Structure 1
């Protein structure tokens, strides 16, 4: 097959015409067609050390995915890059009923072990390389500024583009693997200089540091897939230290899930904003002003889809996306203080904190891990969204401070302060 639209190199043309076998030719053809749909002008090499896959769950219904993986393995088309993958969907330590366990193990994720075996054959970095926050230092899949990626996980894509200055489009699942297999991705969108220009200037005029997940939600719903340039947030964030990185992790996940943001610039904070400043703005950008009243409007607009709106929460999930080491330690202290004030020793609501296995390993080396468990909190590597994505879990009154989890499931959103109040003091949701 010859391509008449996108400009391909001789090597790319050869792969497309079968020089590396029929399966690799089909992989290249898929990427070419994908690029053509978005007006790509050609293919560019992937330059990151590792890739990241969004498909990490062994859903019984994903038969075509397993068939594709087998074809790649059989043809010797393992990924040219090692890769990490999104979190596992199950953990026996997370509270679940007898019926939920039957659904998880025998109906939903019955192919999990088989699928993980396929991933290991294709190039999984190591057996526990499952997290949505692969870019954390403890995990080690941290791209450099300017690196070209082939990722799909929306919260990881927006973090890599914005906080790290790498270049990646919001790809679909499996496209991430195909790019890694063939070593190329189509050149369009956020891989281009023009595609990284901001069409919105967002002015932060709040009286205090805005809640990361709430601010991200407001911006995501306003700008949708456009790139925002945010001013006034550096007043509250200071420098790009570990606390700011965690804030931007949660903020970005909300922009990506409540909208379709793949890149944002924060004046004085993110690398391209520091280097290029307001040259990143297009001429006559749209303007969005966010003050306390606007954040309250957004918060009040969230629907509550629980059957009984005043039900007592049965579970609390924190860590979507996965928590950082700093967040785990800070939340341990917050919970201890909250319990002390309430005259209690353990959380009033079953609570699960999730983080990458590599982060949890480091956390276990600190005294905080045993202190958090003593307070009754379950520490897990699970994907809360995958836990919630079934009728049994959806019928439970679950609370969270994750706007991503709220958007994709029946979980009810509360601010961090409200979550802390509920899990340490108890009481019904309001």
Structure 2
């Protein structure tokens, strides 16, 4: 048996020794080894029982994952509170695909998707609509409370839960997320501790206008990397109330800090729960400062590379919604596209345009007149993960545009500010 270092309760020791079966013992050993690597002193109980898995795609090469899932299923193990998962990788009717794309998606890339989803359902996946990177939306229902301990993965979801909701979760990897959810225990280290949630950076926002969340988050992520920032001056532009608009802003801001850096938690003075409660007590004694003004945001923006084979060609694809758009954001983008086309005297978008949102939001949106009007422009709305779309090697030769800093970071997509992208979608030439 593994010679663990951390302190375990008698119940936890018994599970490790096989009292609840050898498969659960292996799950416990994995979690304990994980904790020992980060010098955790103990395991703590998961208090928000609903998990979130980052691995949502049936990639044909993930044979060890399917084998492990079968072991869990055959042992009768599952997540008792259920779980959500990241978005599905494909939506062939609504996302541009040629014949070769379809063959790649259905065989080489995601040939195990149906098999894997059947496994996930046996392990506790919440319904057919449980696929979104923004599982914390009201429509998704996976919403932890302040102080809740989680066993989640997905960088932007963990970032949001820690920062906006005040829950506690480390930046776990795939499989660690479901193991912790099945056990109901996770190692106590890092962002699960009071000390581990203190900020090493005081970021001073000194702009003359409301900063774009994607670029502000990017600047902070690049600067602080995995450290925690305490941001002052932003409440001047986004307010001191966590309403729908502010939460959407923070969703996109946080995703940029997590992808352009490795930020798992940020504090916004006068706004996020712990900052409201503790203020600058959240700053470590030896904190560093980073001042962000208009010039700094523009400097960061101009560093983004253009990875198209021919940068001078116009974009042919546009993806909006990484992470998934909220209901309000979906309605806003729909209005902007329809109205801008009307202003330009046009009826159709100038390129294949795909908007991504959570499945329950999409279902309701499809019932509206606005959806019909948007669909008539050639715009398509889907619940896929655009990152998984770009895992298709054929997309590397396509000129994909986006206003998502996360998608820009993990693909060859070219980043545009919201208004710039809107102009291009509505027919303005590069």
Residue 282 of structure 2 aligns with which residue?
A: 280
Contact preservation (8 Å) 2:159, 2:255 = yes
Residue 312 of structure 2 aligns with which residue?
A: 310
CA deviations over 1:93-114 (Å, ceiling 9, x no partner): 2111111111111100000000
Deviation of 1:158 (Å): 0.2
Distance 2:343 2:234 in 1: 32
1:108 maps to 2:109 = yes
Distance 1:122 1:196 in 2: 32
Residue 258 of structure 2 aligns with which residue?
A: 256
Deviation of 1:370 (Å): 1.8
CA deviations over 1:105-145 (Å, ceiling 9, x no partner): 11000000000000001110112211100000001001111
Moved beyond 6 Å, runs of 4+? none
Give the SS at the match of 2:265.
coil
Residue 420 of structure 1 aligns with which residue?
A: 422
Distance 2:119 2:197 in 1: 35
Deviation of 1:4 (Å): 4.5
Give the SS at the match of 1:326.
helix
Report the number of matched residues.
428
Residue 83 of structure 2 aligns with which residue?
A: 83
CA deviations over 1:362-384 (Å, ceiling 9, x no partner): 32344322222122210001110
Contact preservation (8 Å) 2:2, 2:29 = no
Distance 1:364 1:268 in 2: 37
Give the SS at the match of 2:408.
helix
Unmatched runs of 5 consecutive residues or more in structure 1: none
Written as runs of structure 1 = structure 2, the 5 A alignment for 1:210-249 is 210-238=211-239, 239-249=241-251
What is the aligned counterpart of 1:297 among 286, 299, 305?
Answer: 299
Specify whether residues 3 and 12 from structure 1 end up closer, same or farther in structure 2 by C-alpha distance, changes over 3 A only: farther
Residue 364 of structure 1 aligns with which residue?
A: 366
Contact preservation (8 Å) 1:15, 1:24 = yes
Contact preservation (8 Å) 1:317, 1:352 = yes
Distance 2:127 2:152 in 1: 18
Contact preservation (8 Å) 2:49, 2:150 = no
Distance 1:13 1:218 in 2: 45
Residue 204 of structure 1 aligns with which residue?
A: 205
Residue 352 of structure 2 aligns with which residue?
A: 350
Give the SS at the match of 1:425.
coil
Contact preservation (8 Å) 2:4, 2:32 = no
Distance 2:72 2:5 in 1: 27
Contact preservation (8 Å) 2:49, 2:80 = no
Deviation of 1:2 (Å): 6.2
Unmatched runs of 5 consecutive residues or more in structure 2: none
Written as runs of structure 1 = structure 2, the 5 A alignment for 1:6-405 is 6-92=6-92, 93-238=94-239, 239-405=241-407
Distance 2:402 2:150 in 1: 31
Give the alignment's Cα RMSD to 1 decimal.
1.0
Contact preservation (8 Å) 1:152, 1:172 = yes
- TM-score, length basis structure 1: 0.98
Distance 1:266 1:3 in 2: 42
Deviation of 1:246 (Å): 0.5
- TM-score, length basis structure 2: 0.98
